[in-house]
Structure 1
């Protein structure tokens, strides 16, 4: 993670600054523009696999959800904007999102059934900052897919091993369940998804 602009900017300034047809991804963290580390091939294979599996489940269940190519989550009370690896949006609630039409940005939990982040070198943001902000927004389900066991031991245990952490909102606070190897992922948003952690991790080794 490389900070590219140290002076604080507002969300509106960030959107105005964002390069058109940018080849690089950027996020806004408390007013600081952050250049995201280019993803590795393994990372992208897992993102693609999850997007396909979840899209198939959305279609099978005829849910009013979709996965945008690029969109931001903006906590209402902060000058931050996050671009998750996989973001599931609830189409009917987008009429209530004032920033959706022009900025492809959502801020309300009712629009965001599930967020998935595949961990890269900026793992502290995923486990600490983004988890706290998504909890504040009220997002009901947040996955952290740590396929390379990069996260700190306080997050994924010792010895470290590939782990999927599923954060579920319970009475306004996240509670986390962790899934390893052959564990079947339990997702309230997609209760019949029937994917094991190992299936997801092996995608990067095919």
Structure 2
């Protein structure tokens, strides 16, 4: 279960507080420091699989992007800070980030080519809070990988089932395309991704 440290802090106070070499991950939500739940084995495997596939897309298509090991995204408001499961950064744009070199902190949406959040029990954060903040920052593309079908019915339909959601920024607002079962995933930023939702949810393994 997600645990919280109930003391309102600013983003800078959160960064100063963040313990070095911590075995836990933390985020700042509306001024409250949240200890993020330990990922399950499936969650970790899926994150590794997607990082590899996205990294191959960057290399094979000679895209000037990279996937950092660690990164904190600071939305426009000063009470929140997130550590995405996966973030893809534009190498040239990051050169203009004032807090990247010393703190691995991203403050400008133009630096981000893609953010991926893998859904766990705190699904409202991914579908509501983070989607709104990423949209406001102008982050071009955002994937919500709901491999267990945990999200609310208003987001993934009824009956619930595993869903891969691609949010694309169009005229300053997110438009969402959703993929389930054997639907090929269509990504505006990575058009050669060439995987179905089921292949992602199975970590690329073939059935049988």
- TM-score by structure 2 length? 0.95
1:115 maps to which residue? 115
2:66 maps to which residue? 66
Q: Contact conserved, 1:72 with 1:82, CA < 8 A, in 2?
A: yes
Q: Contact conserved, 1:46 with 1:204, CA < 8 A, in 2?
A: no
Partner Cα separation in structure 2 for residue 22 and residue 145 of structure 1: 26
Other structure's SS at 1:126 match: helix
Alignment of 1:1-206 (within 5 A): 1-203=1-203
Other structure's SS at 1:115 match: strand
Unaligned runs of 5+ in 1: none
Partner Cα separation in structure 1 for residue 102 and residue 68 of structure 2: 14
Partner Cα separation in structure 1 for residue 11 and residue 102 of structure 2: 13
Write out per-residue CA displacement over residues 89-144 of structure 1, whole angstroms, 9 at most, x where no aligned residue.
00111121111111101121211010000100110000000000000001111000
CA-based RMSD: 1.4
Unaligned runs of 5+ in 2: none
Q: Contact conserved, 2:199 with 2:205, CA < 8 A, in 1?
A: no
How big is the shift at 1:61?
A: 1.1
How big is the shift at 1:62?
A: 1.1
Other structure's SS at 2:16 match: helix
Partner Cα separation in structure 2 for residue 189 and residue 204 of structure 1: 20
Write out per-residue CA displacement over residues 146-165 of structure 1, whole angstroms, 9 at most, x where no aligned residue.
00001111110000000001
